[in-house]
């Protein structure tokens, strides 16, 4: 994989570009994709953003979301854009299988594939150009770097600022995680100096749900959370019946995994949701517990040191049983 900088001199030559990201895009995935789009169109590129799946309703306030294609819903249009693309940007993921049903299509493409991502263990052989840096807070920070490092800071407009800020807030847990290094705060200061209305973004991200979601959270914390104090671990397991009862949609469960972290002494939080096709795990840790390795070893997943995800094709009961077993096996690491 050649460095991203090698492409800077070609930015001003208009091309057909597709930008894609991981399935069920979050604020960073959608924010980075849209920020890059708002940047590239200023050079005359024809840019299509494709999401492998649908996304949370609360992402829709982001400028440009209306034009994003959902590969599962708009397959013909999305494949037409992919077939004619000269550049394919892959943002906020680093291995094709994180695009679910789009995986095979991406593997067949012969266009130039470009990676911009901050997750561990990138599949760099699949990309001709790119940057992979786990020290970055978010892919949005990396898009900001791309714009500034290529000498185009003057192109940061309101849309770009809003998208980048949303992703940075999302992936740093509102500037809480250690990934919120000094450069992140400088980035925010720069966006503020350019006129960013940060309060609007916080409302878009956090005050944008329906009543049923708050009732659902109350129900889950009361009835579905188990605390294992001897292992400093909290577990939330959500059956499908809860999702149906409270009309839970994509994105409504975002942030749920953070609630048990407010309990003194909790080091690891595990959340599993019984989705149609799989049991989806989320892991969050504080301090010295490596969620990425844990998710990779036991739940076919990965991610970052303190935040990772995984999956299981077993029943909810079986996968919860397995979790409790591996929690015990990891007792030393959880002290
Ligand atoms: P979340 O729990 O919010 O779904 O994911 C936490 C972090 O782990 C995110 O950075 C996400 O991209 C990553 N992640 C989630 N699920 C998976 C997975 O199945 N495989 C890998 N490699 N990363 C994942
Ligand atoms: Mn990210």
In ligand 1, the atom with minimum distance to the C-alpha of 299 is 19
Tell me the two tokens of residue 193.
């100096």
Q: Which ligand is nearest the CA of 303, by number?
A: 1
In ligand 1, the atom with minimum distance to the C-alpha of 171 is 10
In ligand 1, the atom with minimum distance to the C-alpha of 271 is 2
168 and 139 both lie in a single domain? yes
Residue 1 has pLDDT above 90, yes or no: yes
Most ligand 1 atoms within 8 A of CB, residue of 308, 312, 313 to mutate: 308
Give the span between the Cα atoms of 39 and 25, in whole angstroms.
19
In this prediction, residue 285 carries a pLDDT of 96
Mean pLDDT in the chain?
A: 97
Most ligand 1 atoms within 8 A of CB, residue of 177, 269, 277, 309 to mutate: 309
Rounded to the nearest whole angstrom, what is the distance from the C-alpha of residue 142 to the centroid of ligand 2? 10
In ligand 1, the atom with minimum distance to the C-alpha of 26 is 3
* List of residues 6+ apart from 204 with CB closer than 8 A: 58, 61, 62, 166
* Residue 324 banded pLDDT, cuts 50, 70, 90: very high
Residue 31 has pLDDT above 90, yes or no: yes
Q: Whose CA is nearest to atom 15 of ligand 1?
A: 309
Q: Which ligand is nearest the CA of 271, by number?
A: 1
Most ligand 1 atoms within 8 A of CB, residue of 302, 305, 311 to mutate: 302
Residue pair 305/312 in contact (Cβ under 8 Å)? The answer is no
Rounded to the nearest whole angstrom, what is the distance from the C-alpha of residue 312 to the centroid of ligand 2? 22
Residue pair 238/274 in contact (Cβ under 8 Å)? The answer is yes
List the domain range (segments joined by +) for residue 12: 2-206
Reference 114, options 139, 131, 135, 96; nearest CA is: 131
Q: Name the 3-class secondary structure at 241.
A: helix
In this prediction, residue 172 carries a pLDDT of 94
Rounded to the nearest whole angstrom, what is the distance from the C-alpha of residue 42 to the centroid of ligand 2? 24
128 and 82 both lie in a single domain? yes
Give the span between the Cα atoms of 330 and 189, in whole angstroms.
41
- Portion of the chain with pLDDT greater than 70, in percent: 100
- Portion of the chain with pLDDT greater than 90, in percent: 97
Most ligand 1 atoms within 8 A of CB, residue of 299, 303, 306 to mutate: 303
252 and 171 both lie in a single domain? no
Domain boundary among 155, 187, 206: 206
Pocket of ligand 1 (CB under 6 A): 22, 282, 301-304, 307-311
Give the helix, strand, coil percentages of the chain, each rounded to 5.
50, 20, 35
Rg (CA), the chain: 20
What is the total count of domains within the chain? Answer: 2
* List of residues 6+ apart from 37 with CB closer than 8 A: 19, 47, 49, 64
Q: What is the CATH number of the domain that holds 40?
A: 3.90.1640.10
Q: Whose CA is nearest to atom 6 of ligand 1?
A: 308
* Residue 14 banded pLDDT, cuts 50, 70, 90: very high
pLDDT per residue as tens digits for the range 184-201: 999 999 999 999 999 999
Q: What is the CATH number of the domain that holds 245?
A: 3.10.310.30
163 and 270 both lie in a single domain? no
Domain boundary among 181, 206, 231: 206
Q: Name the 3-class secondary structure at 205.
A: helix
Classify residue 244 by burial, with Cβ atoms within 10 Å: 0-12, 13-18, 19+.
exposed
274 and 302 both lie in a single domain? yes
């Amino acid at each position: 994989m050649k460095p991203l900088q090698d492409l800077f001199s070609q930015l001003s030559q208009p091309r057909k570009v597709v930008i894609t990201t991981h399935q069920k895009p979050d604020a960073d995935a959608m924010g980075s994709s849209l920020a890059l789009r708002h940047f590239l169109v200023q050079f005359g590129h024809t840019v299509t953003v494709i999401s492998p799946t649908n996304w949370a309703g609360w992402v829709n306030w982001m400028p440009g979301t209306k034009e994003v294609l959902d590969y599962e819903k708009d397959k013909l249009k999305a494949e037409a854009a992919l077939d004619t693309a000269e550049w394919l940007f892959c943002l906020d993921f680093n291995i094709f299988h994180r695009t679910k049903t789009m995986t095979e299509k991406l593997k067949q493409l012969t266009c130039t594939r470009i990676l911009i991502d901050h997750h561990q263990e990138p599949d760099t052989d699949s990309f001709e150009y790119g940057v992979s840096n786990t020290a970055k807070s978010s892919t949005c920070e990396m898009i900001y770097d791309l714009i500034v490092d290529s000498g185009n800071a003057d192109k940061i407009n309101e849309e770009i600022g809003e998208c980048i800020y949303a992703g940075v807030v999302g992936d740093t847990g509102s500037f809480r995680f250690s990934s919120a290094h000094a450069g992140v705060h400088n980035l925010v200061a720069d966006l503020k100096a350019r006129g960013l209305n940060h309060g609007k973004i916080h409302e878009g991200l956090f005050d944008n749900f329906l009543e049923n979601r708050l009732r659902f959270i109350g129900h889950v914390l009361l009835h579905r959370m188990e605390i294992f104090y001897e292992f400093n671990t909290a577990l939330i397991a959500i059956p499908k019946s809860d999702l149906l009862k409270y009309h839970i949609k994509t994105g409504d469960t975002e942030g749920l995994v953070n609630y048990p972290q407010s309990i003194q002494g909790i080091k690891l939080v595990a959340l599993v949701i019984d989705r149609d096709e799989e049991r989806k795990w989320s892991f969050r840790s504080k301090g010295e517990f490596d969620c990425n390795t844990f998710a990779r070893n036991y739940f076919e997943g990965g991610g970052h040191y303190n935040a990772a995800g995984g999956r299981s094709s077993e029943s909810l009961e079986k996968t919860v049983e397995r979790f409790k077993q591996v929690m015990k096996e990891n007792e030393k690491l959880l002290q």
